[in-house]
Amino acid sequence: MLTLHHAPNSRAGRIVWLFRELDMPFELNAMRFHPEDLKSDAHRARHPLGRVPVLDDDDVSIFESGAIIEYVLARHAPGRLKPAVDSPEFPAYLQWFHYCEGMVMPPINTIVVQTLLLPPDRRDEKALAQAQRLLVKALKPIDDALEGREYLAGEFSAADIMLGHACIMSSRMNLIGDDMPNLKAYVERLMARPACAEAFAT
């Protein structure tokens, strides 16, 4: 049985979303987003930095949400939620799958630190404003790419789970303005998917 080590409001939601889209059974080890859980000896044995998600699959343990998604699709759902290698959509799939952590999540991480994780007396308004500007710049190419398209690489795919999760987070930060109508509609389309809504509620 696949076991997902999960904490709310984290990248682990991507893996819940993936499993729900695939209708795959899994066990959820629900932890608090708190050092007592994430930095415990038991969890540090799974992830040296005490982060989530971590996936256990019998004798395999793997972390990093993108790596987990690729692992699950390759070993447990071949041919699903990604274009074939010879498909014209395959390059776009790879690009947007990795654009998420390369370009969108770094400023999101800074925003979360500066608005939620740091105590008010240690927050840096300049760092926050810069991260917000960088995030808006990183979102604009996604809005452009979605012109005339429902999803990032043809049919709904794992790239939409990876990057779509970050886009939904950006929307909740009120950083997708009316000047990005394609992206706003995309977020609404994703949230209308039962698997997505369930992942964000987990």
Task: Give 90-194's CATH code, choosing from 1.20.1050.10, 3.90.1150.10, 3.40.50.2000, 1.10.101.10.
Answer: 1.20.1050.10
- pLDDT at position 34: 86
84: which residues sit within 8 A by CB, 6+ positions away? 90
187: which residues sit within 8 A by CB, 6+ positions away? 164, 167, 168, 171, 176
Query: Can you tell me which residue has the tokens 């509620």?
Result: 201
Quote the tokens at residue 133.
Answer: 């500007």
CA 102/CA 99 separation, integer angstroms: 5
| Architecture of the 2-76 domain | 3-Layer(aba) Sandwich (3.40)
Judge whether 2-76 and 90-194 match in fold.
Answer: no
Kindly report the backbone phi and psi dihedral angles of residue 117, in degrees, each rounded to the nearest multiple of 5, phi listed first.
Answer: -85, -40
Other CB atoms within 10 Å distance of the CB of residue 121: 5
Reported as a single tens digit per residue, the pLDDT across 157-186 is: 999 999 999 999 999 999 999 999 999 999
Reported as a single tens digit per residue, the pLDDT across 65-121 is: 999 999 999 999 999 999 999 999 999 999 999 999 999 999 999 999 999 989 999
- Contact call for residues 8 and 202 (beta carbons, < 8 A): yes
Domain ranges of the chain: 2-76, 90-194
- Contact call for residues 31 and 52 (beta carbons, < 8 A): yes
In this model, does residue 33 exceed pLDDT 90? no
